[in-house]
């Protein structure tokens, strides 16, 4: 059975942020992730992690302006200084929060110059933080218009070209199903590169139940492939978070 984590940016939003750690533990999660923790005190978050015996799985870079702002700068030509400054701030937070992975967001860009910029920035980041596990994640065009990394084959090429041992694939089953229309085949093809997995229902990005994905089959495929990382619930609950956690009990049955 996969090990499930709660994305506190998406789940338990009916509660103040610092109360979500306890709620996640009470709901049966042993790990959490936060997309952008930079509006909160790192030491206070660390205290919550320790108090509730939670593993901190993942945070994103860059820090600021998520609401209506940019989706990263790693592939954006001319934004190298911004990317590096944001990455260093991310590392300062990571030094306190100790995430297992840091997701390096590509941003909105296209073309050969963007690809070269992305490769250069990723190589720099991998060398800058050799002890950190960095990830890249393909995102679908509908949710992220203009996002550079919008294809799993491209992600595989980028990983091979960077060639860094501390850079891996972040496999989001929601995006994979939309991009490929066959999450099982996508996992078979690209799962061996994955160091982190996220889940959400298709369509709607709600609870991982029914819809276009055979979730019991997907979870079995994760187990069968030997995947040993965390599987983070990164979805928007249809009602309250607690009301929608039947999928978690079913997966553990």
Which are the catalytic amino acids?
A: 137, 234
- Write b or e for each residue in 79-90: b if 16 or more Cβ atoms lie within 10 A of its Cβ, otherwise e: beebbbebbeeb
Instruction: Determine phi and psi for 27, rounding to 5 degrees.
Output: -80, -10
Nearest alpha carbon to residue 15 among 235, 243, 241, 244? 241
Opening angle at CA 101, ends 247 and 94, nearest 5: 120
Torsion of Cα atoms, 88 then 93 then 99 then 101, to 10°? -20
Between the CA of residue 200 and those of 50, 145, 208, 222, 236, what are the distances in Å? 27, 19, 5, 15, 8
Q: Which two tokens stand for residue 214?
A: 């055979």
3-state DSSP helix/strand/coil percent for the chain, to nearest 5?
45, 15, 40
d(CA 40, CA 59) in angstroms, rounded, equals 13
30: β partners = none
In b/e form, how buried is each residue of 180-211, taking b as 16+ CB within 10 angstroms? beebbebbeebbebbbbbbbbbbeebbbbeeb
CA dihedral 21, 26, 28, 29 (to 10 degrees): 10
């Amino acid at each position: 059975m996969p090990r499930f984590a709660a994305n506190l940016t998406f789940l338990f939003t009916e509660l103040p942020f610092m109360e979500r750690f306890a709620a996640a533990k009470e709901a049966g999660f042993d790990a959490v992730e936060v997309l952008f923790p930079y509006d909160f005190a790192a030491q206070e978050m660390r205290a919550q992690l320790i108090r509730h015996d939670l593993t901190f799985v993942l945070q994103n870079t860059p820090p600021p302006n998520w609401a209506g702002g940019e989706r990263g700068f790693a592939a954006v030509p001319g934004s190298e200084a911004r990317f590096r400054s944001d990455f260093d701030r991310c590392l300062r937070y990571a030094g306190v929060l100790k995430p297992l992975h840091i997701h390096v967001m590509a941003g909105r860009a296209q073309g050969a110059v963007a690809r070269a910029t992305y490769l250069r920035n990723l190589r720099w980041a991998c060398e800058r933080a050799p002890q950190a596990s960095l990830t890249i994640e393909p995102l679908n065009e509908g949710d992220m218009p203009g996002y550079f990394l919008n294809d799993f084959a491209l992600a595989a090429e980028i990983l091979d070209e960077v060639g860094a041992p501390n850079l891996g694939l972040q496999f989001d089953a929601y995006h994979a199903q939309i991009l490929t229309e066959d999450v099982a085949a996508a996992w078979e093809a690209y799962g061996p590169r994955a160091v982190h997995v996220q889940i959400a229902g298709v369509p709607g990005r709600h609870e991982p139940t029914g819809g276009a994905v055979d979730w019991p089959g997907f979870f079995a495929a994760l187990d069968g492939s030997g995947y040993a990382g965390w599987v983070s619930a990164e979805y928007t609950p249809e009602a309250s978070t607690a009301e929608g956690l039947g999928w978690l009990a079913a997966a553990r049955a």
